[in-house]
Structure 1
Amino acid sequence: MPGTTVIRNADWVVAFEDGRHVYKKNADVAFADGVVTHIGRVDHAADTEIDGSGRLIMPGLVNIHSHPTSEAMNKGFLDELGSPKLYMSSLYEFMPLFRPDEEGRRACVEVTYSELLQSGVTTLVDLSIPFEGWLDLMAQSGLRVVAAPMYRSARWYTRNGHVVDYEWVDDGGRAVMDEALAYVDAAVAHPCGRLSGMVAPAQIDTCTGDLIADSFAAAQERGLTMQIHAAQSIVEFHEITRRHGKTPVEWLDDLGVLRAGAVIGHGIFLNDHPWVHWPQADDFATLKASGTAVAHCPTVFQRRGITMNTVGRYIRNGIPVGVGTDTYPHNMLEELRNALTNSRVISGDPFDLRTSDIFNAATIGGAAILGREDIGRLAPGAKADIVSVDITDRAMMPVRDPLRSLIYVAAERAVRDVYIGGEQVVKDGVALAFDIPDALSRLQAAQRRAEEQFARLDFAGRTHDEASPYTFGVR
């Protein structure tokens, strides 16, 4: 079997058969030329033999929503910070003020890509403001990356901490949209063969209706998906209802973009969310009928006491749901755990969301949202995007159901090796593409520089440690 690699006698394999994931025990996984060729027993010798004993072999995870250029630097600053007069969101008062410079942005990306790989992610949607060298970093990472350069018609800010204002550009965002589409086209054409594109008007409240509609048309013309942040905060819900007399979901529907081929980033605040009190709409039914997908990222919201109502309900009703890592840690397995916990807490029902549901969302669900049938699964003909988990790790043991041990307890600590298109990108738990200690050192320095400029940007002139005090006083 020339050019074939076989993982021999894995204790557990998450294989894809008859349209669903199944466990196989004591099975081999063979791959060649970047694709899976066989799952079961391989009787012939292979060019490369890997011992699968003591391992769970599973498909790489598909992450449909992430912000690698900024979020890694927010560690230690936004962990327990919200705006009390803006419904506890930190989007408007704090996030625009604590931001990386150019060197910090590159360090953020290197750290984030490495963290994602080490938590089993093999396909990533990167929602970032594009910068020089961005696509090169994607290619260097070894990930399958969907480049989603964000653009908008206005920036948000606050002058007083309780009112959000918007500064609109004269052309409605056309120039930055054109630049973003050029990045999308360059990603699709990139010679590494692992990059693709997504059209990404940034937020529903920072984009004109024309920009959103034209963005969806541009995505459809290219055969791509469009993603927009919507229904992500109470501030945004009130802003859209104030402007249009419609909920965010209703307005997107009126614009003709609430359709298959569109993704709503977060989609939390529908009219029936208990915080909203807007009974005149039926957003859930509208969303359910539309075919629009939702990117669920529980960790960033749970820090501020916010959660979807509920992701289990969305999935049961056939709304396409994928999973993302909107914030640090960029740990996809922890996002799955948080999704399970939050859905059960808000519903009061341990059966509201099952482990199989959220694992499907993070694999075949995310793949379907991206229009892919060759990722998020282990089956002959699928891409050899493979994660090897050490089930003898103490956080995994005792092992009765390996995915439960991985998601509820071990997370990235048990991930040992990752392959993308048959190429190894994580070895012994360490991502290979970047010098991680160096990237972390540069990120640390960038965080110090961001602290220095914070007071200059803040409307109230607060220092970083006044806005986000340390856990204990510093003497």
Structure 2
Amino acid sequence: MSDTNQARITHIQNLATLVAWDAELGSHVYIENADLVMRGNTVIHAGTGYSGPADVVVAGSGLMAMPGLVNIHTHPSSEPGNRGLLEELGSDKLGQSSLYEYMPVFRMGIETAQYANQVAVAEMLLSGVTTYVDMSLPRPGWADVVAATGIRGVLGPMFRSAAWRTPDGHSVEYAWDEAAAVKSFEAALAVVDSAVNHPSGRLGAMLCPSQVDTCSSELLKQAQAAARRLGIPMQIHAAQSVVEFSEMTRRHGRTPIEWLDDQELLDGDLIIGHGIFLNDHRTLYWPHADDFGLLQRSGAHVAHCPTVFARRGIALSFLGRYLRAGINVGIGTDTFPHNMLDEMRLACYVARLQAGHFRAASTEEVFNAATVNGARMLGREDIGRITVGGKADFSLVDLSHPYMRPGREPLRSLIYSAGDRAIRDVYVDGEQVVQNGKLLTIDLEEAMQQVERAQAQTIATVSQRDYAGRGIDAMSPRVFPCRA
């Protein structure tokens, strides 16, 4: 940001509603007929009656300003290429997951990662996300690609000790290579350095050992030590599948959560990606553990991504239970589309279905999960909320949109009815990145064309990677047959 932009005062005047942070209440609050003022990338006024100077005045009439959403778990370098392929696929002999039989076969090459990244970030920005965690494989130029989109990115380079494969569709094998793990970990550390020292000032980092069942204890302990030295969090996929649960109990006689605790890894600096298959999940029978209690006592966080699991009949049990026990839960868009508002709505509905009652997840809880809870995982109090001294990361919502009306309760209308259709403008670090629903920082059409080309190349060769040599129409049939 230039010195001129740092000094520029922008006044968004007479907002119909401002979703601001009240430090005394420890809560978001509605303020009506409010002003939101920023100097450069910092909020200097959030409330009524601003009468100070302004270089730029923006009419806020008919708009709601809300804090930028924090997307705590994404795989944007690969997931856009899975659209049209994975929505209805799972392995009925591998716990209904798509992880082992399908995802490795459909994965695009790393040369397309930057374009997939742009597509995913575009979806996030258009749904009000201003900060996201990007869990991807290390690659050159990653930091520059993310910075150019204008979003606040937290790069989470992934690394592991073993790769998995299924040789038959009903079992999973692990190929261990610790020498390769060391190189991958070194590459991850280089990514972290490129992010935290990036000149944009908008990038951060976390370390992301890939999965609890693919990482050795030694690798995880090295990662934990490095994360502590660097002052950054760590995130790992754990309790995400029946296969993983069975594998960890077979190896160690311990659940994935118990094993992490045994290794002294389960603490307030660790984010558990998914955290679904605890020992008391209804699909398991392992009554001898207390995974929920371990999560509760450890202070570990959970990244909740309902869409990717709901597609396969799988769900966390249940969101309100975790939150009300004091387990900090954030929201992520693990899969496509990277539409955070859709994810938030589904988080509410899935929790209520799982619990069998409508109080299993409230709008307040889900909005907090997508804002302040995610920010807490990143160790930040200057994002995920609109507060004086905080970062100027926010969205302007069009309250005149038909799906926002009648307008008594704007956040309910946004989450349950309008979704991203009502997001008009988005600002990150004081800079506008979406204007009147249009992206200002990403050539989405060009990126989408590149992803389409890469997907076509990938599906043309799936039989070479599939254990059974199946072609695309056998692996992922079309909804209806094509006729001439």
When normalised by structure 2's length, the TM-score is 0.97
Pick one of 2, 6, 13 that aligns with 1:8.
Answer: 13
How far apart are 1:2 and its partner, in Å?
A: 6.5
Q: Does 1:450 align with 2:458?
A: yes
Task: Output the amino acid matched with 1:243.
Answer: R
Task: Output the amino acid matched with 2:59.
Answer: D
How far apart are 1:131 and its partner, in Å?
A: 1.5
Report the counterpart of residue 172 of structure 2 in structure 1: 164
Partners of 2:270 and 2:467 lie apart in 1 by: 36
Task: Output the amino acid matched with 1:325.
Answer: T
Pick one of 366, 374, 393 that aligns with 1:385.
Answer: 393
Q: Does 1:80 align with 2:88?
A: yes
Partners of 2:229 and 2:166 lie apart in 1 by: 37
Partners of 1:81 and 1:203 lie apart in 2 by: 21
Quick one: structure 1 residues 2 and 108, their matched pair in 2 at CA, closer, same or farther if it must change by over 3 Å?
Answer: closer
Indicate conservation of the 8 Å contact 1:2/1:46, yes or no: no
Indicate conservation of the 8 Å contact 2:68/2:130, yes or no: yes
Alpha-carbon RMSD:
1.1
TM-superposition CA deviations, 1:72-94 (whole Å, max 9, x none): 11111001111111011000000
Pick one of 94, 97, 107 that aligns with 1:89.
Answer: 97
Pick one of 18, 29, 39 that aligns with 1:32.
Answer: 39
Partners of 1:44 and 1:195 lie apart in 2 by: 31
How far apart are 1:45 and its partner, in Å?
A: 4.5
Q: Does 1:336 align with 2:365?
A: no
Pick one of 131, 150, 153 that aligns with 1:123.
Answer: 131
Report the counterpart of residue 3 of structure 2 in structure 1: none
Report the counterpart of residue 210 of structure 1 in structure 2: 218
- Unaligned stretches of 5+ residues in structure 2: 1-5
Runs of 4+ in 1 over 6 A off after TM superposition: none
How far apart are 1:443 and its partner, in Å?
A: 1.2
Partners of 1:152 and 1:199 lie apart in 2 by: 11
Task: Output the amino acid matched with 1:369.
Answer: M
Q: Does 1:223 align with 2:231?
A: yes
Task: Output the amino acid matched with 1:20.
Answer: S
Indicate conservation of the 8 Å contact 1:333/1:407, yes or no: yes
Partners of 2:454 and 2:230 lie apart in 1 by: 37
Indicate conservation of the 8 Å contact 2:249/2:255, yes or no: yes
Q: Does 1:185 align with 2:196?
A: no
Indicate conservation of the 8 Å contact 1:69/1:108, yes or no: yes
Quick one: structure 1 residues 2 and 111, their matched pair in 2 at CA, closer, same or farther if it must change by over 3 Å?
Answer: closer
Task: Output the amino acid matched with 1:281.
Answer: A
Indicate conservation of the 8 Å contact 2:301/2:329, yes or no: yes
The DSSP-based 3-state class of the residue aligned with 2:132 is strand
TM-superposition CA deviations, 1:329-376 (whole Å, max 9, x none): 100111100100000000011011100001001111111110001000
Task: Output the amino acid matched with 1:313.
Answer: R
Task: Output the amino acid matched with 2:383.
Answer: I
Partners of 1:172 and 1:69 lie apart in 2 by: 21
Task: Output the amino acid matched with 2:272.
Answer: I
How many residue pairs align between the two structures? Answer: 475
The DSSP-based 3-state class of the residue aligned with 2:403 is coil
How far apart are 1:403 and its partner, in Å?
A: 0.5
TM-superposition CA deviations, 1:313-336 (whole Å, max 9, x none): 000000011111000010011110
How far apart are 1:170 and its partner, in Å?
A: 4.0
Q: Does 1:252 align with 2:260?
A: yes
Partners of 2:275 and 2:229 lie apart in 1 by: 25
The DSSP-based 3-state class of the residue aligned with 1:37 is strand
How far apart are 1:16 and its partner, in Å?
A: 0.3
Indicate conservation of the 8 Å contact 2:7/2:40, yes or no: no
Partners of 1:216 and 1:64 lie apart in 2 by: 19
Pick one of 404, 421, 433 that aligns with 1:425.
Answer: 433
Partners of 2:17 and 2:60 lie apart in 1 by: 9
Quick one: structure 1 residues 79 and 2, their matched pair in 2 at CA, closer, same or farther if it must change by over 3 Å?
Answer: closer
Partners of 1:55 and 1:88 lie apart in 2 by: 43
Partners of 1:2 and 1:433 lie apart in 2 by: 22
TM-superposition CA deviations, 1:123-148 (whole Å, max 9, x none): 11000002122111111011111110
Partners of 2:50 and 2:329 lie apart in 1 by: 35
Partners of 2:64 and 2:164 lie apart in 1 by: 46
How far apart are 1:111 and its partner, in Å?
A: 0.3
Indicate conservation of the 8 Å contact 1:454/1:462, yes or no: yes
Partners of 2:85 and 2:222 lie apart in 1 by: 37
Pick one of 117, 123, 136 that aligns with 1:109.
Answer: 117
Q: Does 1:200 align with 2:218?
A: no
Indicate conservation of the 8 Å contact 1:390/1:415, yes or no: yes
Pick one of 106, 109, 112 that aligns with 1:98.
Answer: 106
Partners of 2:184 and 2:8 lie apart in 1 by: 45
Task: Output the amino acid matched with 1:13.
Answer: L
Report the counterpart of residue 262 of structure 1 in structure 2: 270
Partners of 2:78 and 2:40 lie apart in 1 by: 35
Pick one of 341, 346, 361 that aligns with 1:353.
Answer: 361
Report the counterpart of residue 288 of structure 1 in structure 2: 296
TM-superposition CA deviations, 1:377-396 (whole Å, max 9, x none): 11100000010010111121
Indicate conservation of the 8 Å contact 2:19/2:31, yes or no: yes
The DSSP-based 3-state class of the residue aligned with 2:81 is helix
Indicate conservation of the 8 Å contact 1:172/1:208, yes or no: no
Q: Does 1:22 align with 2:33?
A: no
Task: Output the amino acid matched with 1:24.
Answer: I
How far apart are 1:172 and its partner, in Å?
A: 6.6
Indicate conservation of the 8 Å contact 1:385/1:422, yes or no: yes
Partners of 2:53 and 2:229 lie apart in 1 by: 47
